[in-house]
Amino acid sequence: MQGRLTRVAAAIAILAVTVFAVLKLGGGDGGAPGGTTPAASPQTSILPGSSGAASGESAAGSASDAADASEPEEQPRAVAGVEPGAATVATDGQGHVYAANAKRHQLARRLSARSFVAIDGETGEVLLAHKEHRRLPIASLTKIMTGLLVSEAGDLTREVTVTPWATRVEPNRDGLIAGHEYTRRLLLYSTLLASNNDAAEALGVDLGGTAAGFYAAMNLRAEEIGLTETRYASASGLEDLRNTSTALDQAVLLREALDNPTFAKVASTWSIRIPWEPPTRAKVYQNHNKMLRSYAGTIAGKTGWTTKAKGCLAVAVERNGHRVIAVVLGADDIWHDMPILVDAALGRAAKQAA
């Protein structure tokens, strides 16, 4: 009898250890996909191939931040054939090359962001990074991909008929009216400058034929660019559960997008007046990226925010012949974090060039 009790006790102990291990493995970066897919609106496809937020996320955010603190920082691996002390010394195994001590840095002040990265705008080399591979919701940084696909499709004078689906999104909204027509140009400026979600969704359905069709096009383009840790499930960024990416992927994306002249022109615009249907007659769109005016050398960028994603910002800055692209995700204060990060990245780029 006592032997049987001993075996039962041992089995219970093993079960407890197993349950603990399963629960522990269930946390961390990625998580399982969740949420529901929004209904797609039927429309003919022409593609060849800020933000509102839900409430009640603060408790989840605190748990995630606690997980951040315990998660070990992944270090890039040494590059064969590179001498110690050389400017480029490591890679992450995905083709991203890291500058010396890119992950061992001391910034002027502590950043609030859960993840950040700064890359060389010319070479793509990672200059500074912290949890740059951590998959997180990216809010309206999603609109960088939406804007790139529209810019690549061109035909900006094309009239887009707005579907009811596009008008039912949360603010920011431009007040588009279902059944009315607006040019791609207007919707592109509305999307990238004012971060209007109805404009982004209208463009998505126009290009993809359906919302789901556009998500497929976004993911295909992401794969072509090499965004291996990104999954799109929204044209606007309102989907926080399945629409995720990393700071590094978003930096790579912005670098690619700025090679498109249309995207670069729109994303660098501070303010523009565009004709609107009566009785409004005209609207002025002003860029949410305040760094265009507050930080010397800022070329372009995109802001984002939802309750779950917190503050997100991607910018490109060029100063003294050095271009840096930087991204912060999950920040309490993007306007505090980004100048500190870019200052350090520009200093490192200048030091490497010397």
Residue 188 CA to residue 353 CA, distance in Å, equals 37
Contacts of 277 (CB under 8 A, 6+ apart): 180
- Active-site option among 131, 143, 302, 310: 143
DSSP 180: -
Which of 207, 341, 183, 164 minimizes the C-alpha distance to 274? Answer: 183
Q: How many CB atoms lie within 10 A of CB 265?
A: 11
| Bridge partner list, 273 | 284
**283 given a catalytic annotation:** no
- Active-site option among 51, 64, 115, 140: 140
- Active-site option among 51, 64, 151, 195: 195
Asked if residues 317 and 240 have their Cβ atoms less than 8 Å apart, the reply is no
Asked if residues 118 and 345 have their Cβ atoms less than 8 Å apart, the reply is yes
Map 286-337 to HEC letters: ECCCCHHHHCCCEEEEEEEEECCCEEEEEEEEEECCEEEEEEEEEECCHHHH
Residue 224 CA to residue 250 CA, distance in Å, equals 14
Residue 148 CA to residue 154 CA, distance in Å, equals 10
Residue 287 CA to residue 282 CA, distance in Å, equals 16
**140 given a catalytic annotation:** yes
User: Which residues are known catalytic residues?
Assistant: 140, 143, 195
